[in-house]
Structure formats: structure tokens, C-alpha cells
Amino acid sequence: MSGQKKTIRGGVVTGYGSCRFCGQQATRKVLEDWTQEEKDELVTETCECLEARLYAAEKGQKERAHKRIEMLFGESNGVVTCNVAVLELLHSIINPVCEGNIAAATVDIGNGVKAKINITNKGNIKVGRTKTDTSTYEA
């Protein structure tokens, strides 16, 4: 090469951020193209203050619930085929359930398939799928 340095985009740098709850500032290794908001979010998620720990736990719980919806109702589940509108509805239920605005939601998808999203007594989000197969014969 003719003496030119190759610039690699997306390198790791030391970034500074603040916890949104206690205001504590910290340095973290981040990608160089991260915004200040993304740096603050990382510092908040890793801060040791009580509010930040509760926030991080709730955020992780929501992310796991969204993954469960994809596992049970997404394209590759192999049991049930749901269209995009149904998946969006199920994903939109996660926040109100997790935040305690509703205790549970049951969605009848049709063909004997129901989705239920609720909070357990231990405070965990539960995503369930029920598929009933009923056979009726007349003689």
C-alpha cells in the first residue's frame, strides 16, 4: 500500500456516561459510533444504585418475554402460524403487564390457539400458548 492508514469504523473506545437515576458518572468500553444516550443507557444498566438494578432487571425480563413470544408464536415455532399483526399485538402486551397496568391478557388467535401473558406471584412474566384439539362427531 502507498503509506495510507486504513480506517476501521466501529472500533471500541472508552466512553463516558451517567446513570439516569443517581447521576453517577462512569467510563465503559463502547463502540465509537455510540450516541451519548446509548452510553448513558449502558452506565445505567450497570450502575449499582437500587433504582438502576431494578430497571436493569425489568428490562432483561421484558427482553426475555419478547424472545418467548417469538419462540412460541414466531415464524419458526413449527406449531402455529401467526401473522405480523398478531405478533405485534402480543409484543405490545408485554409492557403493560410488566409495569402492573394489567394483570394478564389472553388472546384467542383462532383454530384452538390461545396466547396468555401474565405476571406470576414471584413477579416473573409468563408467556404461554395453549392449543386445543377438539373432535366432535354426530351419529
pLDDT reported for residue 10: 58
pTM, two decimals, is 0.77
Element (H, E) at 118: strand 113-119
* Per-residue model confidence as pLDDT tens digits over 83-128: 999 999 999 999 999 988 999 999 999 888 999 999 999 989 999 9
pLDDT reported for residue 9: 57
**Helical ranges in 27-110 per DSSP H:** 36-46, 50-73, 84-98
Better-scored residue on pLDDT, 6 or 54: 54
Question: How sure is the predictor about 3, in pLDDT bands with cuts at 50, 70 and 90?
Answer: very low
Give whole-number Cα distances, 58 to 39, 51, 75, 81, 97, in Å.
Answer: 19, 11, 26, 29, 11
**How far is CA 117 from its chain centroid?**
14
pLDDT reported for residue 4: 46
* Per-residue model confidence as pLDDT tens digits over 4-50: 444 445 589 999 999 999 999 999 999 999 999 999 999 999 999 99
pLDDT reported for residue 80: 84
